[in-house]
Amino acid sequence: MTKLKSVEELKKIRDEARKDLMSRVQTGTRIIIGMGTCGIAAGAREVMQAVLKELDNRKIEAHVETVGCVGMCAKEPLVDVEQAGKSRVRYGNITQEKVPRLIEEHLIRGQVIQEWAVSRMEAQKT
């Protein structure tokens, strides 16, 4: 692809994005994926890709971010789900296959999946 053509495309994307920007600000849900050495070795990358895909498929807005090591290597891949005003729940041993259920139950229905949860923390102030 020529540089010029890609710049044109970017501008098109920009104009499309502008139309729906207002609905995308501050949804208040954060999904945090552990991406330390241990997380990556345990498959965190595939989990990250699965999370983004699932959110896209269901047209859900959530803020996805990666963090480094949190010292729970044995339970990697770790995924934290934090919803505005609620506590932050950390899920352990999450695989690509578990991602759809995680999004469905926790994000959509607001129910913590007890058997996968490893801890619960106070939500960070953002």
Partner 1 sequence: MIELSLHLLDMIQNSIEASASKIEIRIDEDLQADLLRIEIKDNGRGLSEEQTARVLDPFYTTRKTRHVGLGLPLLSEACRRCEGALEIRSLPGAGTTIRGTFRHSHVDRAPLGDMTSVLLALLLSEPPLDWLYIHRVDEEEFRLDSSEIQKELMEIPLTHPKVRKWLMGFWAEAENGLSIRALPARVGA
d(CA 126, CA 123): 9
Query: Closer to partner 1 at the Cβ: 19 or 115?
Result: 19
**What is the DSSP track for 43-83?**
THHHHHHHHHHHHHHHT---EEEEE---S-GGGPSPEEEEE
| Separation CA 91–CA 110 (nearest Å) | 14
Smallest distance from the beta carbon of 114 to partner 1, in angstroms? Answer: 25
17 interacts with partner 1 by CB under 8 A? yes
Among 28, 66, 112, 113, interactor with partner 1 by CB under 8 A: 66
Q: Which residues bind partner 1 (CB under 8 A)?
A: 1, 6-7, 9-11, 13-14, 16-18, 20-21, 24, 33, 35-38, 40-41, 45, 48-49, 52, 55-56, 61, 64-71, 73
